[in-house]
Amino acid sequence: MQSVFVTVGSTQFDELTQLVTTEATLQALARLGCRRLTVQYGTAKAPRVPPVAKRAGVEVETYDYKASIANDLAAADVVIGHAGAGTILEALGAGKKMVVVVNDRLMSNHQTELAFKMKALNHLDACTCDTLLHTLAGLPARSFARYHGGEDDRAVLNHIAGVLEARRADALRSAQGRGRPSIALFLVAAVLAFALAHTLFFLT
């Protein structure tokens, strides 16, 4: 595990991007043989790299965005990412060992369900920020099922589409049950319908 790449895409996940540069995490990574840590922090605040990184022998690079993360993915032995479908599919498609860290403040979202679905299929490990260090400690002994893309991608997108459709239907049923549906609930249904249409676009 010489090189670790942390990515959150375009999301703001301060808890994760700050956690991976704490003294405890850097020391844990160093014990696992990590010599380079690259953190793509998106819209979050740029993480502060403590002096312990140099003492532990871990070179740290941080940035918000690049035109492409392909080189960082290619160089990584392990990818730590948020639960976005694009991030998951890109990392697994590159054949990387992956830990998905779900945002437990958003435990009802479809990304969390996707992360634990992929964990159940043994394609990756999934955890929260609270359990990341424990998950990393056990990672060297883990072996994962190879993700082959193609039909695997379609199965993942179908799963997302199913979750989104169920959420949209729940929102509409809830709105109808109120007799006089709220604008907020209709907005939720509209957003979910848009997300579902976007997902179905990739299935065609």
Q: For position 187, what pLDDT does the model report?
A: 47
- Does position 188 have pLDDT exceeding 50, yes or no? no
Q: For position 105, what pLDDT does the model report?
A: 80
Pair 126, 99: CB distance under 8 Å: yes
Q: What is the pLDDT of residues 62-75, one digit of tens each?
A: 999 999 999 999 99
What's the topology of domain 3-141? Rossmann fold (3.40.50)
Helix, strand or coil for residue 22? coil
Q: Name the pTM for this structure.
A: 0.76
Length of the chain: 204
- Report domain extents, the chain: 3-141, 151-203
- Between CA 77 and CA 97 the distance in angstroms is 7
CB atoms within 10 A of CB 187: 11
Phi-psi region of 134 (alpha: psi -120 to 50; beta: other; left: phi over 0): alpha
Q: Give 126's strand partners.
A: 100
Q: What is the pLDDT of residues 82-137, one digit of tens each?
A: 988 889 989 998 999 999 999 988 755 667 888 888 999 899 999 999 999 999 99
